[in-house]
Amino acid sequence: MMAKAAKTGKKQKQNRSKANGTATLPMPALDGEHLDISMLETWLWDAACAIRGATDAPKFKDFILPLIFFKRLSDVFDDEFAGQVKEFGDEETAREVIQADHEDALKTGRRPIVRFFVPHQYRWDAIRNHAANGELGQFVTDAMRETARLNPDLQGVLDIKDYNERQSGQRTLDDDRLATLIEVISRHRLGLRNAEPDILGRAYE
């Protein structure tokens, strides 16, 4: 599994470097899959292998689990966004309606039409396609913190980890390993039809 993760990471790094961060990597066609416990365990193991050597084993989860949580938020948002596109006819209108509704919901305290609002510029495909150019860690941190700011229920949960953190002047998890980790996490979809509601709770166990 470690070799597979390393091979995937090498290919991802080459793709990012070749395009200098401008290429858009296609997301795997995973709409019909359903993540079970066995798949979850293998997935978490591969994710740990992707960053092994960069950090101590007990700290693996500090980098992996928030990313999986964020991907779940992004995938669910994409599902709900797709539903609004069907209702309103096009993406631009749906995006405007969702954003306006979310802003009003925050002001009035009512429940919005989407569970959690993920800004377009920070959705998972943007994270996956960001170049490993020394700024990826900060981009991931910014994505999580901005999403938490826009969703008060996520504050203190999603916005804690700094993916740009340094120890003795060196990045704890450099961009190359972070890009490899992101690619491993991109293997599975965590949308409404792809995983049970408590799948993340099982990941944290």
Burial grade of 183 (CB within 10 A; 0-12, 13-18, 19 or more): buried
- Range(s) of the domain holding residue 168: 2-19+29-204
Q: What does the pLDDT read at residue 193?
A: 85
Total domains present in the chain: 1
Q: How far apart are CA 68 and CA 61, in angstroms?
A: 10
Comparing 161 with 195, the larger pLDDT belongs to 161
Residue 184 lies in a domain: yes
Take residue 9 and report the two structure tokens written for it: 């990471």
d(CA 173, CA 54): 6
Domain assignment of residue 57, yes or no: yes
Lowest mean pLDDT segment, chosen from 21-25, 49-53, 58-62, 134-138:
21-25
Q: Check the CA dihedral 151-153-158-159 and report its sign.
A: positive
Q: What is the average per-residue pLDDT within 121-137?
A: 97
Identify the pLDDT of residue 55.
Answer: 55
What is the structure's pLDDT at 30?
56
Domain harbouring 180, CATH code? 1.20.1260.30
Whether the CA torsion 173, 176, 182, 185 is positive or negative: it is negative
Query: Is 117 inside any structural domain?
Result: yes
Length of the chain equals 205
Range in 3-12, 20-29, 80-89, 97-106 the model is least confident about: 3-12
Q: Residue 52's beta-bridge partner residues?
A: 55
DSSP 171-205: ESS-HHHHHHHHHHHTTS--STTTS-TTHHHHHH-
**CB 114, CB 80: distance < 8 Å:** yes
Residue 56: inside a domain: yes
Q: Determine, yes or no, domain membership for 38.
A: yes
For residue 132, pLDDT beyond 90: yes
In a domain, 131, yes or no: yes
Mean pLDDT of 83-107: 95
> pLDDT above 90 covers what percent of the chain?
58
The closest alpha carbon to 177, from 117, 125, 144, 136, belongs to 136
Position 40 scores a pLDDT of 80
In a domain, 185, yes or no: yes
Residue 24 lies in a domain: no
Q: Residues 137-171: pLDDT tens digits?
A: 999 999 999 999 999 999 999 999 999 999 888 99
pLDDT on residue 49: 82
The model's pTM: 0.79
Per-residue pLDDT, averaged over 9-20, amounts to: 46
pLDDT mean across residues, the chain: 83
